[in-house]
Amino acid sequence: MCNWPNVTLFRLNMALLLLFGSLLLLSRAAQGSNTSIPLVIWHGMGDNCCNPMSMGGIKKMVEAELPGIYVLSLMIGKNIAEDTESGFFRDVNDQVAFACDIIAKDPKLKAGYNAMGFSQGAQFLRAVAQRCPNPPMKTLISVGGQHQGVYGLPRCPGESSHICDWIRKALNSGAYTDAVQKHLVQAQYWHDPLNDDLYKQHSLFLADINQERVVNETYKKNLMTLEKFVMVKFLKDTVVDPVISEWFGFFKTGQAKETETLQQSALYTEDRLGLAQMDKAGKLVFLGTDGDHLQFTQEWFNAKLIPFLR
């Protein structure tokens, strides 16, 4: 039965090969040679864009898994020293605007990008998503971010403990005074559950992006365009207080012991930010990992986070 001449089979094979070859070339040409969506990363407190032990290492890890990907690690300021300083002493709203500007001007990001924020860099990138829809952020990965802020600063990362002692004093003496709000980054996501009214009225950054004063429909609409919002919580975190803030939960108002989940909060039940709708659409991903603040292995990173960047 199978007596097709060999030469016909050979021709057929060649034709198929050529066809697939040209399809491949065509799709490559359409996408440029990079098939991965670009990634923007924002470092945490006491860190900077380019430290080979931190963000530089993350960039390398991502590039190793997704060859050809464009990774932009945000530098807030003119140089690395200024970038590190911005993590402590610069108006966060101004930093977010600065980041939006870098992102909007980067031609490699114009078709959209994914974002990955570390610690406070995560809530700052969420503000970018809410305020700056062009180019569009597709997926936001928050690695130990504090979406409901912090009430306490039990430990500072790295070698910045003397700065932290100073910050603690400033926060205790008046986190919600305008001068402290304007200049101290940690005050701008300081969330005092015992002084809820003060927080709502005077927090220049966090209360604004969390819709505490008004519901800004633009924020809601923009956040809801995310394809996925992934939140990583470090189960043994000794830096963030309360740790549930990494999953968008917080202390119940009026005390600082009992916490509530995002789903129990007014932000969610009133759906002031679109998070309830996103949750129902399967866009919220809650990941937990068994380590202290920002402590994870490359295997965990590759297995749990890289899939969201493919």
Ligand X SMILES: *[C@@H]1O[C@H](CO)[C@@H](O)[C@H](O)[C@H]1NC(C)=O
**Residue 67 in the binding site for ligand X (CB under 6 A):** no
Q: Is 293 one of the catalytic residues?
A: yes
List 19, 25, 27, 68, residue binding ligand X (CB under 6 A): 68
Q: Which amino acid is at 91?
A: D
**Residue 216 in the binding site for ligand X (CB under 6 A):** yes
List 43, 126, 131, 272, residue binding ligand X (CB under 6 A): 131
Q: Which is nearer to ligand X, 73 or 289 (CB)?
A: 73
List 88, 151, 219, 247, residue binding ligand X (CB under 6 A): 219
CA distance 92 to 185: 6
List 11, 28, 108, 310, residue binding ligand X (CB under 6 A): 108
Q: Which long-range contacts (CB under 8 A, 24 or more apart) does 29-37 make?
A: 33/68, 34/68, 34/69, 34/70, 35/68, 36/66, 36/68, 36/69, 36/70, 36/309, 36/310, 37/69, 37/112, 37/113, 37/114, 37/138, 37/309
**Residue 70 in the binding site for ligand X (CB under 6 A):** yes
Considering only 50-58, 95-103, 146-154, 213-221, which stretch makes contact with ligand X by CB under 6 A? 213-221
Q: Least distance in Å: CB of 303 to ligand X?
A: 23
List 1, 7, 30, 214, residue binding ligand X (CB under 6 A): 214
Q: Least distance in Å: CB of 41 to ligand X?
A: 14
The one catalytic residue among 119, 203, 245, 265: 119
Binding-residue pattern over the window 33 to 52 for ligand X, x denoting contact by CB under 6 A: -x------------------
**Residue 225 in the binding site for ligand X (CB under 6 A):** no
- Interface with ligand X: number of residues (CB under 6 A): 10
Q: Least distance in Å: CB of 260 to ligand X?
A: 26
Q: Is 119 one of the catalytic residues?
A: yes
List 13, 35, 201, 218, residue binding ligand X (CB under 6 A): 218
Considering only 4-12, 154-162, 178-186, 212-220, which stretch makes contact with ligand X by CB under 6 A? 212-220
Q: Rg of the chain over CA atoms, in angstroms? A: 23
Q: Least distance in Å: CB of 238 to ligand X?
A: 34
Q: Least distance in Å: CB of 178 to ligand X?
A: 18
CB atoms within 10 A of CB 122: 25
Q: Least distance in Å: CB of 213 to ligand X?
A: 8
Residues with a known catalytic role: 119, 237, 293
Q: Which residues bind ligand X (CB under 6 A)?
A: 32, 34, 68, 70, 108, 131, 214, 216, 218-219
